[in-house]
Structure 1
Amino acid sequence: MIKVLFVCLGNICRSPMAEAVFRNHVKNVGLSDRIVVDSAGTGDWHVGHTPHEGTRKILDQYGIDYSGMFARQVSTEDFNDFKYIIAMDDMNVTNLTPLFPTDHQAEVKKLLEFVPKHAGGDVPDPYYTGNFEEVYEMVDEGCVNLLKYIREQQGL
């Protein structure tokens, strides 16, 4: 089983959007039995909350399921449980770094490393900008390319 974890600050906007979008792409190519998808936040402010209203609205607009999703905080164990940990921005990577166990198995990358026109930049936080459509477009393209990368790496 290949496990992918998306990480943002509070786990209510970007990372749950990426989780839902990526899960949808995985389902569409028939790999739901091979790839498990989750999301978490580096902070604990929203633990137990559903995705942000703006995230829910954009996912509804595109017909993407997010049922059963609740915010959680990333843990040290995630670095051994997940093969791929995908952060939304540099601050998330910085916040994750102290949690890295010395022998962790995870491949930690930023989502926009998979979006050539953004060349590894940061996914802006729509919690502050309100631009959920722009974030959705970045997340969707990143997820398509991430899935392609994982399929090539894993021979799927």
Structure 2
Amino acid sequence: MDHNVRVLFVCLGNICRSPMAEAVMRKLVAEKGLEERIAVDSAGTGDWHIGREPHEGTRGVLDAHGITYVGMKARQVIPQDAADFHYIVCMDRKNLKDAHEMMESALGQQAAGKLFTFMELIPGRGVPDVPDPYYEGNFDYVYELVDEGCHALLDKIKADMGWS
């Protein structure tokens, strides 16, 4: 299946924020009938959770909203992601910096506009980063941000691609 658009969400360990965003975005894409056009994935800048399912807090919030995460396993960002994804959405500024460094060799001139922070999608919220619920325990608040931001991202993709 060849997708027109590939989206990658990036956080630190790929067990809380980025898999939450992946699951929410997949649901939105499916609701709009765009599964053939948009592929969604997530990854972490750290390597200590590779192969693990999403954090229990993330799973709980997704379950409460009827959003599936079946088959999702943590993986680490790799340089090839720079070429494979059109939108690389980092959950905070530190992960933006780290992801850029991890993909720098493969990014070349493609970097402009491809990597950005999640909160750039919803600037009206007035916070620069999606807080890490692994440390904060605020999974419901993170879900609110993720849901709002994923709607904004889908609107951005549709506008960028000229889809109605």
TM-score range, shorter chain: over 0.9
Q: Are 1:144 and 2:147 an aligned pair?
A: no
Q: Could you say which residue in structure 2 is the equivalent of 1:5?
A: 8
| 82, 106, 114: which one aligns with 1:107 | 114
Identity score, percent: 54
* Residues 4-153 of structure 1 mapped to structure 2, 5 A cutoff: 4-98=7-101, 99-100=103-104, 101=106, 102-104=108-110, 107-119=114-126, 121-153=128-160
Contact 1:113 1:120 in 2 (8 A): no
Contact 1:14 1:125 in 2 (8 A): yes
Which deviates more, 57-66 or 89-98?
Answer: 89-98
Quote the Cα distance in structure 1 between the aligned partners of 2:97 and 2:65: 32
Contact 2:100 2:115 in 1 (8 A): no
Divergent runs of 4+, >6 A: none
Deviation string 1:108-145 (CA, Å, 9 cap, x unpaired) is: 11111111322461000000000000000000000000
| 1:90 Cα offset (Å) | 0.4
Q: 1:72 is matched by which residue type in structure 2?
A: R
| 1:56 Cα offset (Å) | 0.2
Quote the Cα distance in structure 2 between the aligned partners of 1:93 and 1:103: 17
SS for the counterpart of 2:40 is strand
Q: Unmatched 5+ residue regions in structure 2?
A: none
Q: Unmatched 5+ residue regions in structure 1?
A: none
| 150, 155, 161: which one aligns with 1:154 | 161
Which deviates more, 146-155 or 103-112?
Answer: 103-112
